[in-house]
Chain A
Amino acid sequence: MPNSDHLYEDTLPLDEAVKQTNRSRILKALLDQDTTVAFDDPLENDMILNMGPSHPATHGVLRLLLRLDGETIIAVVPELGYLHRGFEKIAENGSYHEFITHTDRLDYLQPVANNVGYILAVEKLLGVEAPPRAQYIRLIAAELARISSHLVALGTMAMDVGAMTILLWAFREREKLHDIFDLLTGARFTTSYTRIGGVARNMTDETVAAIKAFLEQFPNRLDECERLINRNRIFFDRCRGVGVIDAETAIAMGLTGPNLRGSGVPMDLRRDNPYLVYDQLDFDVITESEGDSLARYYVRLREMRESVKLVHQALEKLPSGPFRAHEPKKVLPPKERIYTRMEELIMDFMIINKGVNPPVGECYHAIESSKGELGFYIVSKGEGRPWRLKIRSPSFCNLQALPILLKGHLVADVVAIIGSIDPVMGEADK
């Protein structure tokens, strides 16, 4: 075997190299936290446990370093970045339209909601408004995405504490939703559905019928899940009183979404800062006061029913009309006109090659995604691509509270708490 050592620049002695590596610094951060432990026998009590990044209960590639006293957690350091793909850098190097596909990969459990959140921020920057039909279609798609995301949260959380059946039932329902997304957007998973000033394609009667059929049976399926969990002693014992966070701490740590509402704070951007047509529809903001894992689970469960209510209303009110605004220079013209008319062909060429060129300025727009507040901050210098695009991802902020939630609990509770926080690493790591 030829010696391949010369391929590596590293010429430090091994112990020096270990000192400088990632691991030792993370350990240092963990040990530096001011924790007081009463040691009977330090060799027996103080222990550092590495969990992840490749662990089924961390829902992706979250890595936790736990400092344990026996089985009790005394300090936690979460490590992120194992799925960091540099979306913000990519956004700066592509046009506004090109970034839509990347938003699918942010929170991959609800791609449509990310599409909607991003495009609303771009439209705010551009000063374009989508026609009513497009707004309703977006709302329906975003609410269905919320259901599909909450179903995963429900299923995986139940599975983490030992109830395997719920996972299979939740994914069976999700499969039906994927079929609906297939009809609506042309793709089951990576939807890339929205466009500046509207959506990629119209909602057909077939899709409407499919959504109605789904909504017809879904509450009953949800009842079945509830019957299985809500009388399950093991599930309750493992979730009640676990991972408690009070309202004040939750706000201070910047929690949003079901995790904040689980602590009794009625913050919901759909009502507080209405976008799309949420102000014309009737729905309740779900809150629970306990702030533990069980409360967060209840919030999600009840929110799914609210989403069903919202989609019902939206389908009833769904107006007819165009599904994309008519705004030359900003909104892509319809395909059939591009093929037959010179003007539209030129417009399409200009938008694709030169971009939409929003005015110089910067704005922030946030939507209530299933995980919390999903915001986009865009700085424009009047070019075809954003100068800076910042993604305010809810999972990132929610994970920040993990050390507070975990402190003082047993190792076995870690999975129940992560499951109830419902992080998606694609979004947390960007």
Chain B
Amino acid sequence: MDEMLEKVVVKLREDFADAILDVSEFRGDITVLVRRDKIAEITKFLRDLPDCPFNLIEDVCGVDRLERKERFEVVYHLFSLEKKVRICLKVRVDEAELRVPTVTGVFPGANWHERETYDMYGIVFDGHPDMRRVYMPEDYEHFPMRKDFPLLGIPGSIKLPRQ
């Protein structure tokens, strides 16, 4: 693990002892599993770290872990322009309550990424300024990236225009 990242993880564990659920490493990528309700605070903390600010939000995406009890995951990738390191944050979302606090207050650039996650998985971001679909038509009922959505689509789900 990168020296800088190690320090960051230690600091995270100190400041958010009960919110950090797990830290894992795979192929050099550090993934920190955090509690869902603390995600906005933790991203703000990471953005404002004095010696290694993670100031660029690269990506926010959803993952459908169909077989797990907490079915969905939302994954955030942050990059530090100063130290050139990357950290990955992850929250788990239960299907019964598909809500995650938004990080648009910390990173305005997360806006469309969160909209895309909503569009594809139906996860609602609380406090998001413009929670609309981004790719699919506004009146579309399904969430196409979920594992139970068929590859071929659902016939008739997109209405044809009147002729």
To the question of whether A and B form a pair in one complex, the answer is yes
Q: List the interface of chain A (C-beta within 8 A of B).
A: 4, 8-10, 20-22, 25-26, 29, 80-81, 84, 86, 88-90, 93, 124-125, 127, 251-256, 265, 267, 272-273, 361-364, 366, 373, 375, 377, 379, 387-388, 390, 392, 396-397, 399-400, 429-430
Q: Are B151 and A364 in contact (CB under 8 A)?
A: no
Q: List the interface of chain B (C-beta within 8 A of A).
A: 26-29, 31, 55-59, 61, 63-64, 75, 77, 81, 84, 86, 88, 107-113, 116, 120, 130, 132-139, 144-145, 149, 151, 156, 159-160, 162-163
Contacts of A89 in B (CB 8 A): 144-145, 149, 151
Measured between alpha carbons, how far is A364 from B75 in the docked complex, in Å?
Answer: 11
Contacts of B133 in A (CB 8 A): 81
Q: Are A377 and B81 in contact (CB under 8 A)?
A: no
Q: Smallest Cβ distance from B81 to chain A, in angstroms?
A: 6
Measured between alpha carbons, how far is A429 from B134 in the docked complex, in Å?
Answer: 9
Contacts of A429 in B (CB 8 A): 135
Task: Choose from A29, A93, A400 the contact partner of B111 (Cβ within 8 Å).
Answer: A400
Contacts of B107 in A (CB 8 A): 252, 254
Q: Are B145 and A392 in contact (CB under 8 A)?
A: no
Task: Choose from A81, A388, A430 the contact partner of B63 (Cβ within 8 Å).
Answer: A388
Q: Are A390 and B159 in contact (CB under 8 A)?
A: no
Contacts of A81 in B (CB 8 A): 133-137
Q: Smallest Cβ distance from A397 to chain B, in angstroms?
A: 7
Q: Smallest Cβ distance from A246 to chain B, in angstroms?
A: 14
Measured between alpha carbons, how far is A9 from B109 in the docked complex, in Å?
Answer: 39
Q: Are A254 and B58 in contact (CB under 8 A)?
A: yes
Task: Choose from B28, B56, B63, B135 the contact partner of A379 (Cβ within 8 Å).
Answer: B63
Task: Choose from B61, B64, B137, B144 the contact partner of A22 (Cβ within 8 Å).
Answer: B137
Q: Are A9 and B159 in contact (CB under 8 A)?
A: yes
Q: A4-B163, A397-B109 are in contact. Are A362 and B134 (CB under 8 A)?
A: no
Q: Are A10 and B162 in contact (CB under 8 A)?
A: yes
